[in-house]
Every structure is written in C-alpha cells, then in structure tokens.
Amino acid sequence: MSTAQALRHRLAATLTEDDWLHDNTWRAAIETEPRELFLGPALFQQTGLPESTAWTALRRDSVPTQEWLNLTYRNDSWVTQVDGVLAEEATGPVEGSPSSSSTLPGLVVQMIERAGTTPGDRVLEIGTGTGYSTALLSNVLGARNVTSVEIDPDAAERARNALDTAGHHPTLITNDGLLGAPDGAPYDRLIAACSVRFVPYPWLRQIKPGGTILVTLGGWSFGHGLVRLTVDANGEATGRFLPGYTSFMLARPHDHPPRGRLEFLPGEQRPSRIDPTLLDDWTGRFVGQLAAPSAERFGAGAEQILFDVATGSQARTRPAEHEGWIVEQRGPLKLWDAIEDAIEVWTAAGSPHLREFGLTITRVRQRVWLGTPDGPSWLLPV
Ligand SMILES: C[S@@+](CC[C@H](N)C(=O)[O-])C[C@H]1O[C@@H](n2cnc3c(N)ncnc32)[C@H](O)[C@@H]1O
C-alpha cells in the first residue's frame, strides 16, 4: 500500500471513530478517492494572525511530499481561492475572504449521509469547489447519477480537470447553482456546499416528491443552520434543523451588498431588554438574524453593531455604567427591538439548540418555526 493509500485508510478510520462517517459504502469511497488530486498545486493559509488577515499560498512543490500528503489527509478544510484568486495564481499575500475551498472530508461525508444518499439516487450538488465531494458521489452512485454546479469558472475548470484525471465524468455545469440544473431534473437529493438566505424556488421544482434538500441557511449576521427538507408533490417542503454546528460560505448571489465605510451616527438610547452577548451563542445569533435578516452584524460580546445597508438603520449596544446594557438605535428599522422580541421568545422556550427549529416552505413564503410548525415563527427574506 502506498503512503497516500495508507493515509486514506487512516482518514476513513478517524472519521468513523469521530462519528462523522457510519456507512461502509461511503467509507470505501474515502479510502479510494485521492484528495491530493483535488487540492491541486497550492492552498491558502492564513498567516500573521491576529495582526494580519492576509492569506499566503503554500505550494505543493515547496514542501516534502510526505508533509503535503499529511496536510491533504487531515480532516481539515483548505481554502483554494480568496476573492477570486486561486492559490496557485497568488504572487504574494492576498487580503480577502475565502471564495472556494475543499470542505473538511468529515463534513463532506456527513452531508452525503445526512441527505440519506444511497446507491441508485440521482444527486444534484451545488458548489463543486475542488470536485472532491463530487468524486465521492461519483464513486458510489456512478457519474451518470451526479450533477454538480459551480458558479466560479476558474474553480469549475480546476475541478473538471481533477475529476477527469480521477476517471470521473459527472455532469458539471458552470452557472449559478441557485437556478439548479433543470435539464437533468428530477433528482432524489440536493446537497448544497454553500449556504443560502432562503431556499431557491427552482430547487423545489427539481427534486422528486419525497426527495431531500440538505442546505445550510446563512445570512449577514453569521448565523448558520443546517436544515433537511423533504419536498412534497406540490413543490412545497418542510423539515427540521439538524444537530451540530455546520456552516458554509454564502452562495455568491446571496452575499451582502457592497457598502461604504461603516459610519455610526448618534441615535435614540435606552436600556436593552436582553443581554447582547446572547448573539454570540450559535442559536442566539441565528435567532437574531431571523429577526433582522437585512442587517449585517459586527462587533461581539456586549458591544454588538448592526447595520442595514438598504435603509441605513443602525443599532449599537454597550455595557451600562452600573448594570445591564444600553442600546442606541437610528433609522426606520428598529433592528434591536426586533432582535429583542425574537430572543425573548427563544429564551422563554429554554434557549434550545437550533435542532428544535424547523422550516416550512410554501409557494409564497418560507417560515422558520420553533418547536412545531404552529409555534412562534419568522419569515425568511424571499
Ligand atoms: C465550500 S466550497 C465547496 C466545496 C466542495 N464541496 C469540495 O469538497 O471541494 C463552496 C463552493 O460553492 C461555490 N458557490 C458559491 N455560490 C455558488 C452558486 N450560487 N452556485 C454554484 N456554486 C456556488 C463557491 O464558488 C465554492 O467553490
């Protein structure tokens, strides 16, 4: 057995021990697919933290083979593109946010299993990225049953070459995956490797009745929740959020609109009814985002800052002099009032994890609910 093969087997064993991987069919795919092929010639690493947030490329030919393979077969995500610049094209440090990556193998295989994917299924993947997850799907389902859509032409070409070299020829589409892939519809499962602010309606029309959509709901306040939806014969869907803490980069068309320098202006001040640090909690942050979906959140702890780019509405919290917190708000949307209302509903229910929430999608609205479908609910910004 070669070094790479041995590392693949070790990765599969680790993923099984660590509860990411349960099914021997997918385990065999992890043991077979050469992740080094999909990571390509270079990766980005964030260096100089906390002073600098620049990304520096690490080239495969600059490190010993064994070291590169060890990196490849760690259960880690690797960033392959920052703001449109592929790692192999970087000529120096790049400032920006990851725009494509290889998801950690544990999460890739967990998503596949959680979608209920079994041999015989036809799968639509949104966000091909490096192509590694597409290779795992092709390995088990057969490439003719796999369609993957990637919005970034450079990432798509890189993935296509890697998949070709690995001997897989699934249907690869370079386009906005929020439109789905109607030509190959209907599919049994849709697995999204990017998050969305609401579920795109074309997806609902392309999944068979009884089929599954597995997607992370995200937003501009960094709230994330993985939801598994079952689609019905009317093209409507419902399902619950899943345990754990899954996040993906936002689908590019759902990213926040461009804005100038953030300038905070004086507003009305009053005591806050809630502890602002609740927005640092995984579910608290998601609930806050449900209540103020068009706001971006900055800051942390007792000093939260919310800014709504469309209306210029702002909210900022700080500790009060003696006890409690002060909120200062400005603009037509009372962002903090809405967040307080929602957080109070959540805390009154015992501050449960997101898995106590669900999502129901009809033809006209998308509603996240707490507890049961007739419980307290919030509309997504469709
Ligand atoms: C986390 S990466 C995917 C990782 C991939 N599953 C892997 O294992 O290599 C997310 C990908 O989604 C892509 N993406 C973002 N918005 C998209 C959209 N609207 N349609 C299709 N792909 C999109 C990004 O360009 C990026 O390559």
Provide the residue ranges of all domains of the chain, joining segments of one domain with +. 259-348
Name the catalytic one among 2, 52, 77, 101. 101
Distance from Cα 276 to the centre of ligand 1, integer Å: 32
- Ligand 1: nearest atom to the Cα of 152: 25
Could you tell which of 86, 249, 250, 254 is best to mutate to test the pocket of ligand 1, judged by most ligand atoms within 8 Å of the CB? 249
- Ligand 1: nearest atom to the Cα of 102: 9
Sign of CA dihedral 247, 34, 162, 60: positive
Residue closest by Cα to atom 26 of ligand 1: 100
Q: Is the CB of 249 under 6 A from ligand 1?
A: yes
- Tell me if 318 sits within 8 A of 341, measured CB to CB: no
Distance from Cα 268 to the centre of ligand 1, integer Å: 41
Does the active-site annotation cover 99? no
What stretches of the chain show up as alpha helix (H) in DSSP?
A: 3-17, 24-32, 35-39, 65-72, 105-114, 132-141, 153-166, 201-206, 282-291, 335-348
Q: Extract the tokens encoding 261.
A: 């320098």
Distance from Cα 103 to the centre of ligand 1, integer Å: 10
Q: Is the CB of 313 under 6 A from ligand 1?
A: no
Residue closest by Cα to atom 14 of ligand 1: 127
**If 0-12 CB within 10 Å is exposed, 13-18 middle and 19+ buried, where does residue 133 land?**
buried
Residue-wise pLDDT tens for the chain (382 aa)?
889 999 999 999 999 999 999 999 999 999 999 999 999 999 999 977 766 779 999 999 999 999 999 999 999 999 999 999 999 999 999 999 999 999 999 999 999 999 999 999 999 999 999 999 999 999 999 999 999 999 999 999 999 999 999 999 999 999 999 999 999 999 999 999 999 999 999 999 999 999 999 999 999 999 999 999 999 999 999 999 999 999 999 999 999 988 888 888 899 999 999 999 999 999 999 999 999 999 999 989 999 999 998 899 999 999 999 999 999 999 999 999 999 999 999 999 999 999 999 999 999 999 999 999 999 999 999 9
Residue closest by Cα to atom 15 of ligand 1: 251
Distance from Cα 381 to the centre of ligand 1, integer Å: 22
**CATH class of the region 259-348:** alpha beta
